[in-house]
Structure 1
Amino acid sequence: MDKKFVNVIILGFGFMFVFTAFQTMGNIEERITIIESRSFSKVFLSHWKFSKLKTLLDSIDKEDNNFSGDGYTSMAIIYTTFSVCNWLAPSFISFTGPRVAMLVGSLTYTLFMITFLFPSNWLLYLSSGILGAGAAITWTGQGNFLARCSDVSTISRNSGVFWALLQSSMFFGNIFVYFQFKDKEHIDAGTRGMVIGVLTAVAILGIVFLAALRPMADNSIGTSEAQRQIQEQRTGWGSAVYALKSAGRLFITRDMLLLSVAFLYTGMELSFFSGVYGPSIGFTKKIHNTPKEIVGLTGICIGAGEVFGGGLFGILGKKTTRFGRDPIVITGYVIHMMAFFLIFLNLPDNAPFKDTEDISYLDPPRPWIALICAFMLGLGDACMNTQIYSMLGGVYVKNSVGAFALFKFTQSIAAAISFFYSSYLGLRAQLIILVIFGTIGTACFCIVEWAAKRRQREETPEDSRTLSD
């Protein structure tokens, strides 16, 4: 394996360990009281946190009368700061480079988890804000580093391999916590300390992997002497300001505005399968004798679809590069539309709100259909995201920092909006919105991809003539 691909694998393992720890902590931070309360903060950050377990924060609150920290408020601070700081991430990375940015960002994840060992309202919310900023530079740095490790022929493979490793984080931590919290009505201080300690150690292991990444040359810099001189003149604050302006100019270009529609869809479907679909199954009482137990299996099936899709596109990277990104995105679109249709048939319209005896068109609702749909949601998401990564790291290699920052900004805004309306709209209305944005977003992505193919065909004859001369 070449040095670049080894870096991609190390990057994937680093993120897998860091997010095994963080996502597990997020899932146990607040037990779901989803959508029984219509407040924005609770719906915004639900994810699929159904559990019979006492919440971590609730357990701390019962032992410490001075602590009243709220998990939903904490997560709201995280994602609000994350959205805003995506605009500042390119400037930060212009100072530090992507490797240092990812290390600094991953340290904020670890700091956030350690704060649970020292319960304090102000410390919880302060660390949440710091984490939001750290997440912005972490993900923007990851996209830029992935682009540095790739070229036109390898970006699809590398995106798939990274995605498969990242999504593996959905399994390990939650299995560990399940057995640690099993049959516990109250999470005592000893159990909390042990779980937080183990998750912190896992996050530190991820940081060690990220620290092991080897430097890669910035492939956004031109090779001519004039281009190198221009780059050398942009140092310090001048480079940071240039990065911010460059991201702003990129955002208003025709192709990026089209891609933003696809970014919006990924945020909407992310919020649906992570915050609406699982609870909808859990609230549908006729689907199973103990419907809430299926929710855990739903998360596993979503993760299996994500890992399968990422692994498949990693293995078939060369073939997918030859045929383009649009067939995979269209495949993901078709898979999602099929899943939405089956969900429409299987779950009642009021399923997202509360326990219900209602049915949709299938009587009784089928749990195996619900699990198949979960796998399809994960697989379709992998189709979309791996090819967006491939697009941004390939077509936008000259400004990959700005491109990935805009992607995460748009995606997080869309997720926030969809979490908000999910507390007011029934399941069918939400599915209609997803179908509309999925159709438009897929079409917009294909338009940009076809334009990129056309430009590549136009440039190839000129390169050939130059070589022959």
Structure 2
Amino acid sequence: MDPERKKLLNIIILGFGFMFMFTAFQTCGNIEQTVIKSFNSTEFHGSGYTSMAIIYGVFSASNLIAPSVVTVIGPQVSMFVSGLLYSAYIAVFINPFTWSFYTASVLVGIAAAVLWTAQGNVLTINSTDSTIGRNSGIFWSLMQFSLFFGNLYIYCAWHGHVHITDKDRRTVFISLTVISLVGCFLFFLIRKPDPESSSRSEVTESLLQTDSNDASILSASHSSLCSKALDAFIKACKMFVTKEMLLLSVSIGYSGLELTFYSGVYGTCIGAMTSFGTDAKSLIGISGICIGIGEILGGGVFGMLNKNHRFGRNPVVLLGLITHFVAFFLIFLNIASDAPIAPERGTDLEAFISPSVGVALLCSFLLGLGDSCFNTQLLSIIGFVFHDNSAPAFAVFKFIQSITAALAFYYSNYLLLHWQLLILIVVGFLGTISFFAAEWRAESIRRDSDYGSI
């Protein structure tokens, strides 16, 4: 097979694997707080927000050792084992206990760090400078189909249900567990790219195989596994304090905050609005579908626009910021301030306009569209700037993103909606400015590289 076609096929398989896994996991995250509120047991005292805070907190810390794991066992096995732990977390909801719920939260936090570091490595070694934007868009669009399929299932399963019964819960989570396992096994279909065309440098290609001779990661081809792991850890720490990563850290942090909002908080808010009638719970699924449509549209369009950096990344990020600001303003007008922390029966309060399902779902679409603007461009710029050190770079990216997500899930237990929106607005504005600065540095690097090759 033509080397370029093989690499494109690898990206597509990677996208489908994540689509199946996150059809299960993102749907789980979207509904778990609502499910827990409806869980009729005096022995269970878990919180969906607290669980997600644990996941992202452990995720952030584990990102510092994730490159070591990927270096030692390779990205394919890393993604498969991580996927099994994701499936175990989802399966906990079939018959949940507080201890198993929070234990699984810790394990999936570790798995997430390894999974996303391996994903970034596979994406980069199957891309070149001219295809990294396209491939980022393809991967992101395929993965975000997970929001469409999973939430469509939730809408059909829960339509007209005011209360989620134990049978409803078990049926949904058994199905989601099976779907997640399908995604795990798809990772074994990814093939190694040809060595002579896999990347600009042998450094990134080396992380695909344990016996690499990459001098910047391994001291020698026969060095011990402990030495490999230590060197990868040191490289990740050094990557964290580079000028480019420090500039990107604010926009990465914003992506973590808004990830928390659209994936966990906003769906809970919609489900808590008694003004939306008996379909409020099932509207969580429709909201997720609208988020997914925005993600898919944005990933496809902006990934293609970014091909060969013809238009640059800054206009796309600016569009994402404007889109999010419009969504935040409409949410502020439409959703009651106590909706994120309302009890199982919901909230009878109203915001500044008569609550509208149409406006709520429009905001879901805008949240997904804006999120795709930020994430496709972050994947693209990190894959470009840190092409020769992709695994530690993506580990640092996920470290920053996950620690801010953990913080956001923690304060979501306590803060009213308008305070959460204010935090998103301030950090989003600062993150966009810092991204502009990082993009100008990246463009300078690209121009210098083009000049040097003439």
Deviation at 1:311, TM superposition (A): 1.8
Q: Is the 8 A contact 2:30 2:268 kept in 1?
A: no
Amino acid at match of 1:103: F
Who is 1:334 aligned against?
322
**8 Å contact kept, 1:281–1:291:** no
Match of 1:232 among 210, 214, 221: 221
* 1:452 Cα deviation after fit: 1.2
Relative distance call for 1:186 and 1:343 in structure 2 (3 A) is closer
Secondary structure, aligned partner of 2:192: coil
- Residue 143, structure 1, aligned to residue 120, structure 2: yes
Please give the residue correspondences for 1:105-184 in structure 2 after superposition, counting only pairs within 5 Å: 105-115=82-92, 122-180=99-157
Residue 250 of structure 2 aligns with an amino acid whose one-letter code is: V
Question: Residues 439 and 226 of structure 1: is their aligned pair in 2 closer, same or farther, counting only changes over 3 Å?
Answer: closer
CA distance in 1, matches of 2:189, 2:392: 25
TM-score of the superposition, structure 2-length normalised?
Answer: 0.84
In the alignment, which residue of structure 2 is the partner of 1:13?
16
Q: 1:275 to 1:200 in 2, by over 3 A?
A: closer
Taking the TM superposition and a 5 Å limit, the aligned residue runs for 1:363-442 are 363-442=353-432
CA shift digits 1:171-206 (9 cap, x unpaired):
2233334444556767456x6665444333322221
| Residues 25, 461 of structure 1: alpha-carbon distance in 2 compared, 3 angstrom cutoff | closer
Change (3 A) 1:12 1:278: same
Which amino acid counterpart does residue 422 of structure 2 have in structure 1?
I
Contact 2:30–2:267 (CA under 8 A) maintained in structure 1:
no
What's the offset of the Cα at 1:71? 5.3
CA distance in 1, matches of 2:230, 2:66: 11
Q: CA deviation at 1:142?
A: 0.5
Q: 2:202 aligns with which of 182, 197, 221?
A: 221
Q: Is the 8 A contact 1:181 1:187 kept in 2?
A: no
Whether 1:252 and 2:233 are equivalent positions in the alignment is no
Q: Give the alignment partner of residue 5 of structure 2, picking from 2, 5, 9.
A: 2
State the 1:285 CA deviation.
Answer: 5.3
SS in 1 for 2:130: coil
Structure 2 gap segments, 5+ residues each: 206-212
1:447 aligns with 437
1:51-90 map, 5 Å? 55=38, 58=39, 61=41, 68=44, 70=46, 72=48, 74-90=51-67
Pick the structure with greater CA Rg: 1
Q: % of aligned pairs identical? A: 44
Q: Which amino acid in the other structure matches residue 428 of structure 1?
A: H
Q: Is the CA contact 2:59–2:403 (under 8 Å) kept in the aligned structure 1?
A: no
What secondary structure, in the 3-state scheme, does the structure 1 residue paired with 2:190 have? coil
- The DSSP-based 3-state class of the residue aligned with 2:389 is helix
Q: Is the 8 A contact 1:284 1:291 kept in 2?
A: no
Q: CA deviation at 1:149?
A: 0.8
Q: Which residue of 1 aligns with 2:25?
A: 22
Question: Aligned pair count?
Answer: 431
Instruction: Give, in whole Å, the separation in 2 of the partners of 1:273 and 1:374.
Output: 8
Q: State the distance in 1 between where 2:430 and 2:164 align.
A: 47
- Name the counterpart of 1:298: 287
User: CA 1:231–1:344 in structure 2 vs 1: closer, same or farther (change >3 Å)?
Assistant: farther
* 1:390 counterpart SS class: helix
**CA separation of 1:11 and 1:368: change in aligned 2, threshold 3 A:** same
Closer/same/farther in 2, CA of residues 423 and 194 from structure 1, 3 Å limit: closer
Shift of 1:327: 1.7
SS at 2:221's partner residue?
helix
Verify the 8 A CA contact 2:14 2:139 in the aligned structure 1. Answer: yes
Distance in 2 separating the partners of 1:226 and 1:86: 21
Instruction: Give distance in 2, aligned partners of 1:283 and 1:428.
Output: 16
C-alpha distance in 2, partners of 1:356/1:186? 20
Query: Which stretch of structure 1 is more off in the superposition, 246-255 or 5-14?
Result: 246-255
Q: Secondary structure at the match of 1:429?
A: helix
* Structure-1-length-normalised TM-score: 0.82
Check conservation: 2:381, 2:442, Cα contact below 8 A: no
Distance 1:238 1:311, change over 3 A: same
Distance of aligned partners of 1:75 and 1:69 in 2 relative to their CA distance in 1, 3 Å threshold: farther
The one-letter code matched in structure 2 to 1:407 is F
Confirm or deny that 1:307 pairs with 2:283. no
Structure 1 residue aligned with 2:69: 92
- Which stretch shows the higher mean deviation, 106-115 or 382-391? 106-115
The match for 1:324 is 312
Alpha-carbon spacing, 1:201–1:345, altered in 2? closer, same or farther (3 Å) = closer
Shifted more, 132-141 versus 273-282: the winner is: 273-282
CA deviations 1:72-92 (Å, max 9, x no partner) are: 365454333222211110111
Conserved? CA contact 2:314–2:439, under 8 Å: yes
Q: Which runs of 5+ in 1 are unaligned?
A: 34-53, 465-469
Partner AA of 2:11 in structure 1? V
4+ residue runs of structure 1 moved beyond 6 angstroms? Answer: none
Q: Sort the Cα spacing of 1:234 and 1:388 in 2 relative to 1 into closer, same or farther, 3 A.
A: farther
Correspondences of 1:357-368 after superposition (within 5 Å): 357-360=349-352, 363-368=353-358
Report SS of the residue matched to 2:34. coil
Q: Contact between 2:12 and 2:139, CA under 8 Å: does it hold in 1?
A: yes
Q: For residue 198 of structure 1, what is the aligned residue in structure 2?
A: 175
Note the alpha carbon deviations across 1:346-402, whole angstroms, 9 max, x for none.
445455444243432xx4244323222221111010000011111111211122111
Counterpart residue identity of residue 255, structure 2: T
- Aligned in 2, Cα 1:427/1:416: closer, same or farther, shift over 3 Å? same
SS of structure 2 residue aligned to 1:31:
helix
Separation in structure 1 between the aligned mates of residue 139 and residue 440 of structure 2, nearest angstrom: 25
Q: SS at 1:323's partner residue?
A: coil
Q: Report how far residue 143 of structure 1 moved.
A: 0.8
Q: Distance in 1 between matches of 2:8 and 2:245?
A: 28
- 8 A contact 1:87–1:409 mirrored in 2: yes
Which AA in structure 1 matches 2:349? E
Q: Which residue of 1 aligns with 2:209?
A: none
